[in-house]
Structure 1
Amino acid sequence: MILPEMNRRRWVTLNISIGVYMSTLDASIVNISLPTIIQSLNTHLTAVAWVVMAYLIVITGCLLLMGRLSDLFGQRKIYLLGFLTFTVGSALCGFSPTIYFLIGSRMLQGLGASALMANGPAILTAAFPEKERGQALGIVGSVVSAGFLTGPILGGFLVEHLGWRSVFFINLPIGAIGIYLSSKVLERTVPTGKTRVDLWGALLLFFFVTSLLLFLNRMAQGSTPLLWLWLFFNLLCFSLFIMVELRSPSPLVDLKLFRRRLFISSLGASFLSFWMSAAHTFVIPFFLQSILEFSPSKVGMLIFPVALTVMVMAPFGGRFSDRVGVKIPATMGLALTSLAVFSFTLLKPGVNDLNILWRQIVLGIGISLFNPANNSAILGSLPREKVGLASSFLALSRNLGMVIGVAFAEMVIAFRLPAAPLERAKAGPSLEGIQDVWKLVLIIGLTAILISWARESKSNVSGGK
């Protein structure tokens, strides 16, 4: 399809937005359906938790591989295959007869989602000039928020009226549109190097992420042989991964990239930011529903203002970063996010809705300032031929932060649960355990602020290239 440059940018933005919307909508819709899946497939909470965790683990473990594949074979091809894989996985999820089939289908979905997440920002960055990049990424940030915003509302309606399987079938028409647009509006790119893929590195990275998550999940159960086995396996995989990358002629991760101060500091800030957000997102429903005893519908109404605020404010945050640079808006955003999350420790049973609402709005403003600026810094810190790898690192830091954030929150809460196994299985999160998460998140936030403020300016990086 031959289009004028301005129109092509709009179609590319729409195409990338569809992929982003589908993946974020899927995440928020699935969480709403979990209680119903437990009843429908006659399973238990531990098993159904892997419907979420398996998806995140595959995404996190495959992001760098997808970025590398896009640099070798072309972004258009890998992005289109990602759409196809995600859509097929969605269909299989909808037809799942057992919980284990559903978990396997979610892993296939995660494989497709990793291709979409790793390549979407890179395709968008290549389509827009540098002066418009922050605004374009801000638009995508709004689409992310729209997915999270509509997910609980749409998911609740679908589960109640059409059943839990419909939350996966909803992806089929969206995926079909995305596949069509990807085949028509994305430019064919010439591979940037020899078609060699570091499969050993990808496999070791996957095992490293998985074993790290399993280690964190076991920590709250005390010192057991299995806990130390997971730690040993985790350290072994990490050591082998570094050795393989240093010796590989075509490494999955070019370790020389970590000499770039702007790149590594922006990645670190992104990782810690999503760690904070994921930990808060995990505990806030328990606080509202279990501690304050709000209804599920009211819980949803008090949670969605974060996504609504980001959807409205992210484009303004992108424009702000285009004008003043990355450091100021990113650091301001992290400060607002950290203080907003920590302020929830001041809330007690009987608190009015307004005190919860304004904190959620401030949290959304902080995210709106940080994400567009920091994303632009990551994507702009490497040479243009490395943009696929930079995009996959961006998605890796986000998803790894989310996985660690959830596992971290579970671990902290579990330390407050009863020691007896039967009582522990029946007990829910306590107010003290939830507050412990919010307090520790402040330490993570302060670390992220220091990293963000210490980063190099773009001009210094450009001058050093």
Structure 2
Amino acid sequence: MIALPRDGSVPAPGTPEYARRLRHAWRVCSVTCLGLALIGVNTSTLNVALPAVVRHFDAGAFAASWILLSYLLVSTATLVFFGRVADLLGRREVYLAGFALFTAGSLLAGLAPGTGFLIGMRALQALGTAMILANGTVIITAAFPPDRLSQGMGVYIGTLSVAQLAGPALGGLIVQAAGWQWVFWVNVPPGLAALVWGWATLRRVPPAPRTPVDAGGNLLVFAALCAVLVALSEAGSRGPASPVAVAGGAVFLVLVPVLVAVERRVTHPVLDPRLFGGRMLAFANLASFCAALARSALILLVSLYFQAARGADAFTAALAVLPVPIGMAVASPVAGALGRRVSPYALSAGGCLLGFAGLLGLALSIGPATPYWAVGTCLFLAGCGSGAFLTGNTTQVMSALPPGGLGVVNGFRLMVMNVGIVLGIATTLSVLTGGLAPAARDLVYAGTLSRLSPEAVGLLMAGFQRTYLVLAAVMLAALASALLAVSRRAARGGAPR
């Protein structure tokens, strides 16, 4: 990775130094894109294959949700930690270690004898994911000249779109042809290739001065997230009045003020409000949180809709969700190219508007016999919104940050987004199945509810409508935050901060 000179200067465009830096930046981008592709494929294949995994292990609703949530919980809670570790030990080393852990977790997950072991290996995958995510955006930001950063970021985010485009179809095809184990084993060859290519391409960077790691803060973040996820998943499987759901919610409410008090006293907190005290950064990260909460469960929702409500097989459901990643794949590079002429602020707000239109359209049109063109159009709009928002929001935030401490700042940015993803999936599943009997909830995760009765399908449709309305309202909040994510200077016509 090429670091900026100590005086912050960059080679002038058109010079040989600029051309060399740009060529190396694109090689670095190929490494980070491969890492993001692995993560995107891993997530989207399991969203489609989850019913097959649930049926294989005869898992209940609670265990089924934690096959997803364990991965999201661990990766979210350790993002800032690994951002700090990378600042101390070296970004290249931590990034490559992430590839190794992710690949090992994928191999072992396919050998799981039961749901407990599978959940544990998903957590191991998540540690590798956190190492990759906490460093990928920072590596790109440091490698590209500022005037080309939006292009690099557009390709980087677009890679996630392509991975999510291939992932559902790949997951459905794998489940149908080879079995659920290969949903995990398919990650192993590219994981090894990424490790070798990253080792050859990324350059060693001297570690930053050693500063303490906030282990207590990280543990409190993990405990608080764990408590709220237990509460939400238990509410989704046994109802909000369940003692476990009530206890989890109570623990969360107790831990949040404790976390705030602890973080105010440590010298290097995992949640440092000073890093996001400005107007633009505060609202940009709030928009990122809300948008992630609104969009995170969309592919999973659509996959469950086609399998549980319409009786489709995994491969058919995988094909049905493709408009979402297609929209992302179209919008991300377009937004990256537009970023040289249009402000990231405008791209973020426009992405939220498109996402809101898609989610609202799904809420108003979804039914057991809705024509696919109507569903597909709404999904495409939502996908375009995600691609445009992610490119604009990421560029907006990363361009405003100082070089020092980029790792921990970027880790915090990603943690904010991932908290939205975790809460989005947990909340979505809880709202979706809240009107069903406990036995029917298990059938939703297994993808077999349509065999029960038309009445059960009708209740599930009401759940889908309710869920999409909630997600549309959250996306509207993301739009409001994105509109406020502009500095006072930029609002008066000056350069963005």
Q: Same fold (TM over 0.5)?
A: yes
SS in 1 for 2:244: helix
Q: Tell me, yes or no, if structure 1 residue 359 matches structure 2 residue 375.
A: no
**Structure 1 residue ranges without an equivalent (≥5):** none
C-alpha contact (below 8 Å) 2:357/2:378 kept by paired residues: no
Alignment of 1:120 with 2:136, yes or no, is yes
Alignment deviations for residues 82-133 of structure 1 (CA, whole Å, 9 cap, x no partner): 1111111112112222221121111111011011011111101110011111
- The residue number in structure 2 matching 1:108 is 124
* Aligned residue runs from structure 1 range 223-302, under 5 A: 223-302=241-320
Equivalent positions of 1:14-413 (< 5 A) are 14-41=30-57, 43-219=59-235, 221-347=239-365, 348-413=367-432
Distance in 2 between the 1:121 and 1:127 partners?
10
Per-residue CA distance 1:369-417 (angstroms, 9 max, x = gap): 2110101112122211132123212322332112111111122223322
Distance in 2 between residues matched to 1:280 and 1:156, nearest whole Å: 16
Report how far residue 301 of structure 1 moved: 2.1
Structure 2 counterpart of 1:21, one-letter code? A
Aligned partner of residue 253 in structure 1, secondary structure? coil
SS at match of 2:113: coil
Name the counterpart of 1:449: 479
CA distances 1:155-181 after superposition (whole Å, capped 9, x unpaired): 233333333222222222211111112
Q: Tell me how many residue pairs correspond in the alignment.
A: 463
Report deviation, 1:39: 4.4
- How far apart, in 2, do the equivalents of 1:225 and 1:33 lie? 31
Distance of 1:49 and 1:331 partners within structure 2:
32
Supply the AA of the counterpart residue of 1:253.
Answer: L
TM-score normalised over the length of structure 1: 0.92
Distance 1:105 1:136, change over 3 A: same
Letter of the structure 2 residue corresponding to residue 208 of structure 1: A
Q: In the aligned structure 1, how far is the partner of 2:242 from the partner of 2:112? A: 35
Distance in 1 between residues matched to 2:339 and 2:45, nearest whole Å: 32
CA distance in 2, matches of 1:284, 1:346: 15
* Structure-2-length-normalised TM-score: 0.86
Greater helix proportion: 1
Sequence identity, in percent?
Answer: 28
Using the TM superposition, give the Cα deviation of residue 295 of structure 1 relative to its aligned residue in structure 2, in angstroms.
4.8
Unaligned runs of 5+ in 2: 3-18, 444-455
Structure 1 position 207, deviation (Å):
0.8
* Aligned CA distance change for structure 1 residues 123 and 307 (closer, same or farther; 3 Å): same
SS at match of 1:187: coil
CA contact (8 A) 1:282 1:409 kept: no
CA deviations on 1:309-331 (whole Å, 9 max, x unpaired) are 21122111122233221222211
Contact 1:327 1:457 in 2 (8 A): no
TM-superposed deviation, 1:459: 5.7
Residue 71 of structure 1 deviates from its aligned partner by 1.8
Q: Assess if the C-alpha contact under 8 Å between 2:49 and 2:314 holds in 1.
A: no
Give how far 1:61 is off: 0.8
- 2:321 is paired with a residue whose SS is helix
> What is the letter of the counterpart of residue 446 of structure 1?
L
* Aligned-partner Cα distance in 2 for 1:246–1:6: 41
Give the CA deviation at 1:36: 3.3
- Structure 1 Cα separation of the partners of residues 373 and 246 of structure 2: 46
Superposition RMSD in Å:
2.5
Shift of 1:458: 9.0
